[in-house]
């Protein structure tokens, strides 16, 4: 096989996969390859896969079958991400055209794997090496106005439905200095917003320059002082790791945005126990009450699973009650998908698909109603919008409100600037606004 000169990375799944995709692209660029705008134009295609639900995992096989270059030949194919980790050698068996299989903790070795694949061999690397990939990857490049930064990876929680502890490995926090340095590099490269990522990001812990042990709030407070950075977000959090300091930070740290993604999965404490979530419906509501006390306008977002084994109509109604009590600005809801190797896949009382469908519809109807109401409640408000890109209509720009809503506004403000906008309209997915105060508050770097 020829030496690939161009590549295309396609990421599925969560934001961490998007981040990993960026880092793989940077790594390949550092090797002299250039980015192709589409898979059909690339010599090397990296499918950065997700294993969380069956549909996501199966998608990769149909994608592999379709990969062809414009001249009809097939590119070198690498399967990366969580399917690679979970299914490893099985991928090569099911899809012989795959040249490289590389897991989420081994992708810094991609150049060696490409070299091996060129020799005609199939290259598989699903190690979870002691030396972290982060020490080996090239420095960050420009990533746009809003950038992701992985600070914590892996999960020790072992929810009974979930593959992540197996695909990402044990919980690891990246060191303080590495995170601060990467944040600086991102801001130097043009980022105005940084979203700190982790499977359980609020479990992050590390020693600062003085050797003091700090939690995620310590990191957030330090980034708050970074000149040029306008906004800080973090995701995904676990309810049990919402410590006092982090809650307080929501009331005290100016750049920390009023948005909290805090998955709960179910409103039934009985089901939460079977899920091994190690929190109850009550303790979850208690955390939210404490956050809302220090930051009353905070937007709450969540994840839900319907149809977990043994979920009765009464359990499901507890979920609806919880949703009614919380009032979500935004939420993601899924039908339970049995995953190979997880305890819940072998549980009795699997819920029939039609029951799951019906529950998902009811839940999503309620959640959609809440997020529309949340958006509508911003009409008439004056708020700050971080401009991220140009909109579809001429003269229109697209940005984000502090509550993570997309805002369309007619302005000549530059990408990366924060402007004052009066919100005049609201739909299910975005807001419309008019410029409130010109000129925009240019961001000094
Ligand atoms: N670490 C994060 C979530 C990672 S997975 C957390 O604990 O919140 C993202 C979401 O996918 C989960 O919150 C859950 O709602 C959903 N999910 C995970 N496994 C699933 C499964 N087997 N079936 C359906 N949804 C699942
Ligand atoms: Fe999966 Fe639970 Fe870990 Fe989240 S906390 S990644 S849902 S095992
Ligand atoms: Fe999917 Fe892996 Fe993320 S399974 S959700 S890509 S951690």
Please tell me if the CB atom of residue 52 comes closer than 6 angstroms to any atom of ligand 3: yes
407, 398 contact by CB (below 8 A) = yes
pLDDT of residue 92: 87
- Of 282, 287, 280, 244, the closest CA to residue 262 belongs to 287
- Choose which residue among 166, 200, 204 to substitute to test ligand 2 binding: the one with the highest number of ligand atoms within 8 A of its C-beta: 200
CATH of domain 382-435: 2.40.50.140
- For the four alpha carbons of 415, 416, 419 and 425, in that order, the dihedral sign comes to positive
Ligand 2 center–CA 156 separation, angstroms:
8
Please tell me if the CB atom of residue 168 comes closer than 6 angstroms to any atom of ligand 3: yes
Q: What angle do CA 414, 418, 421 make, to 5 degrees?
A: 105
Which residue ranges have their beta carbon within 6 Å of ligand 1?
Answer: 52-53, 155, 161-162, 164, 199-200, 236, 238, 263, 265, 303, 305, 334, 336-337, 339
Flag the least confident range among 47-51, 127-131, 357-361: 127-131
Asked if residue 161 belongs to a known ligand binding site, the reply is: no
Map residue 399 onto helix, strand or coil.
strand
Phi first, then psi: what are they for 437, rounded to 5°?
A: -140, 115
Map residue 420 onto helix, strand or coil.
strand
**Closest ligand 1 atom to 332 CA:** 15
101, 91 contact by CB (below 8 A) = yes
Residue 55 vs residue 442, higher pLDDT: 55
Is the pLDDT reported for residue 240 higher than 50? yes
> Residue 89's CB: how many other CB atoms inside 10 A?
11
Q: Strand 430-441 vs strand 418-426: parallel, antiparallel, or unpaired?
A: antiparallel
Asked if residue 214 belongs to a known ligand binding site, the reply is: no
pLDDT digits (tens, 9 = 90+) for 270-306: 999 999 999 999 999 999 999 999 999 999 999 999 9
Return the CATH fold of 6-125.
Rossmann fold (3.40.50)
Kindly state the average pLDDT of the residues 417-428. 97
pLDDT of residue 130: 78
pLDDT of residue 131: 82
Residue extents of the structural domains in the chain: 6-125, 133-376, 382-435
pLDDT of residue 444: 47
Q: Classify residue 144 by burial, with Cβ atoms within 10 Å: 0-12, 13-18, 19+.
A: middle
Is the pLDDT reported for residue 236 higher than 50? yes
Is the pLDDT reported for residue 439 higher than 80? no
Give the integer Cα–Cα distance in Å for 404 and 388.
Answer: 12
Q: Which CATH superfamily is domain 133-376 in?
A: tm_1862 like domain (3.80.30.20)
Give the integer Cα–Cα distance in Å for 110 and 104.
Answer: 11
């Amino acid at each position: 096989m020829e030496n690939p000169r161009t590549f295309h990375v396609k990421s599925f799944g969560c934001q961490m996969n998007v981040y990993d995709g960026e880092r793989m692209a940077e790594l390949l660029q550092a090797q002299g390859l250039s980015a192709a705008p589409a898979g059909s134009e690339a010599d090397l295609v990296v499918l950065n896969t997700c294993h969380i639900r069956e549909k996501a995992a199966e998608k990769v096989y149909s994608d592999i079958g379709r990969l062809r270059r414009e001249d009809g030949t097939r590119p070198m194919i690498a399967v990366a991400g969580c399917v690679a980790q979970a299914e490893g050698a099985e991928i090569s068996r099911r899809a012989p055209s795959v040249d490289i299989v590389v897991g989420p903790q081994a992708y810094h070795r991609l150049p060696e794997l490409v070299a091996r694949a060129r020799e005609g061999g199939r290259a598989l690397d699903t190690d979870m090496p002691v030396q972290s990939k982060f020490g080996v990857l090239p420095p960050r490049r420009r990533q746009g106005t809003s950038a992701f930064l992985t600070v914590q990876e892996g999960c020790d929680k072992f929810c009974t439905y979930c593959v992540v502890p197996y695909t990402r490995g044990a919980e690891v926090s990246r060191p303080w200095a590495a995170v601060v340095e990467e944040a600086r590099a991102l801001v130097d490269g043009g980022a105005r917003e940084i979203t700190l990522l982790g499977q359980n990001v609020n479990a992050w812990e590390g020693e600062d320059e003085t050797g003091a042990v700090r939690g995620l709030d310590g990191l957030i407070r330090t980034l708050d002082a970074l000149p040029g950075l306008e906004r800080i977000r973090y995701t995904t959090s676990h309810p049990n790791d919402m410590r006092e300091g982090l809650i307080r930070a929501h009331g005290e740290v100016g750049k920390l945005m009023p948005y909290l993604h805090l998955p709960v999965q179910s409103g039934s404490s009985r089901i939460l126990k079977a899920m091994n979530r190690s929190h109850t419906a009550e303790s979850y509501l208690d955390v939210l009450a404490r956050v809302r006390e220090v930051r009353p306008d905070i937007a709450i977002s969540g994840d839900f699973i319907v149809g977990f084994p043994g979920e009765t109509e009464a359990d499901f109604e507890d979920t609806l009650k919880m949703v009614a009590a919380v009032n979500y600005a935004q939420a993601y809801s899924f039908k339970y998908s049995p995953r190979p190797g997880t305890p819940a896949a072998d549980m009795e009382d699997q819920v029939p698909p039609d029951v799951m469908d019906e529950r998902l519809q009811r839940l999503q109807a309620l959640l959609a109603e809440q997020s529309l109401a949340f958006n509508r409640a911003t009409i008439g408000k004056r708020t700050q919008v971080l401009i991220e890109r140009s909109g579809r209509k001429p003269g229109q720009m697209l940005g984000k409100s502090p509550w993570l809503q997309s805002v369309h506004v007619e302005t000549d403000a530059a990408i990366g600037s924060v402007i004052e906008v009066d919100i005049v309209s609201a739909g299910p997915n975005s807001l419309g606004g008019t410029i409130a105060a010109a000129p925009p508050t240019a961001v000094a770097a």
